[in-house]
Structure 1
Amino acid sequence: MIKKPQFNCNDVEVLGRETLYERFFRVEKISLRHKLFKGGWSKNMNREIFLRGNAVAVVLYDPVHDLIGLIEQFRVGAMDEANGPWLYEVVAGMVEEGEEPEAVARRELIEEANVTPYHLEFICDFLSSPGGSDEKLFLYCALSDLTSAGGIHGLADENEDINLHCFAADDVFAELLGGSFNNAAALICLQWLQMNRERLRKIHGQE
């Protein structure tokens, strides 16, 4: 059995917080100290954190026809990538105050893919980059008939230009670690789907 970490949030003393930037996202400078493994406390230190909040990500799968739905869209953070800044991703969106992650997943499936799933299965949650951000992602697998899915979607008032593609599962898994899906949420969702594919087909794969 893996033991819990030795320390928790009560072993951190926050000495001060300062907002450095605030628009759609927020950046803070936090002054703090924390307990040390060898005993005692660390020196006072400053850490900058990108406050992004919670998000969801959803991989689309059709277990009857063994199809995977992935969206393609422009990402400014990928401008320097060799293959360019248009990425294959899973459907994703931010969790607003008062919202439940599953409700956000269903909303984003409509907005980004025009798909309503008949089954939604929770995969896991994870911190995307805890060394400098508080973002936590909640991952899901959405089962749906993808035989007629596809096309351009997204909200025009948010400048979204999203192209939904449906691929044979074998083709996706053959390229899984080859650089075609170079973002964490897509990789985790697709690896989970690869491990659970036969179970989902057995349970949900009947016409």
Structure 2
Amino acid sequence: MTQTTRSVPTAFEISRRENCFQGFYRLDKLFLRHELFEGGMGREISRELFVRHDAVCVLPYDARRDEVVLIEQFRVGALEKTGNPWLIEMVAGLIDKEEEPEEVAHREAEEEAGLTFSALWPITKYFPSPGGSDEFVHLFLGQCSSQGAGGIHGLESEGEDIRVTVWSFDDAMQAVADGRIMNAATIIAMQWLALNRTEIRGLWS
């Protein structure tokens, strides 16, 4: 089958932008038109946009022990769609100041898990929900020692109550397969580690 080569749309026009809510996060309503695949500009449409800070997520990994360090905390977004809103996740935080993603990774590792990273390996960058949010995620693997990791962490001033646990790589992958880990960033990072684990262990062990 021969595919017809078509140009990629690049043009869009925002005619109006209204702020609907302003708190720690922001909700805007945009009125816009964009170029169509068949050519020309489409009709004006309106879309709500959840405006968020970009995020940094890091999977702490001890290559010598072949263990990952995961955290558990209450998540309001999971309150009504799962029987247990305490989700198993990885270290994460928002870029809410003039910081590089790597700086956020090191800061959040200390605050949320009491960990120090000796190296960071960039995994990927992605939009978790571009249909309605502008959040952009920087995903890393963090080299650490899992020995002695654990306990309760987090900043009381931010209402954080975080339990830190150490998992073997195999147990964490089984938790992904079983659906016990249902956080997108953690699933992506664990699957990436499964594909690149031999190389990582060779370099970091």
Which residue of the partner structure matches residue 56 of structure 2? 56
What does residue range 33-112 of structure 1 map to in structure 2 within 5 Å?
Answer: 33-112=33-112
Provide Cα deviations, 1:24-71, integer angstroms capped at 9, x if missing partner.
Answer: 000000010011111211111111000012110000110011111000
Give 1:113 deviation, angstroms.
Answer: 0.5
Answer yes or no: is the 8 Å Cα contact 2:62–2:68 preserved in 1: yes
The TM-score normalised by the length of structure 2 is: 0.94
Answer yes or no: is the 8 Å Cα contact 2:60–2:144 preserved in 1: yes
Give 1:201 deviation, angstroms.
Answer: 1.2
Q: Distance in 2 between matches of 1:118 and 1:50?
A: 35
Which residue of the partner structure matches residue 22 of structure 2? 22
Q: Distance in 2 between matches of 1:48 and 1:76?
A: 21
Which residue of the partner structure matches residue 170 of structure 1? 170
Output the amino acid matched with 2:31: S
Identity %: 43
Output the amino acid matched with 1:196: N
Give 1:196 deviation, angstroms.
Answer: 1.4
Give 1:20 deviation, angstroms.
Answer: 0.1
Output the amino acid matched with 1:7: P
Q: Distance in 2 between matches of 1:80 and 1:45?
A: 31
Q: Distance in 1 between matches of 2:81 and 2:63?
A: 32
Which residue of the partner structure matches residue 151 of structure 1? 151
Provide Cα deviations, 1:60-95, integer angstroms capped at 9, x if missing partner.
Answer: 110011111000000001112333100000110000
The TM-score normalised by the length of structure 1 is: 0.93
Answer yes or no: is the 8 Å Cα contact 2:176–2:182 preserved in 1: no
- Name the stretch that deviates more: 121-130 or 97-106: 97-106
Q: Distance in 1 between matches of 2:177 and 2:129?
A: 20
Gaps of at least 5 residues in structure 1 are none
Q: Distance in 2 between matches of 1:59 and 1:83?
A: 25
Gaps of at least 5 residues in structure 2 are none
Which residue of the partner structure matches residue 7 of structure 1? 9
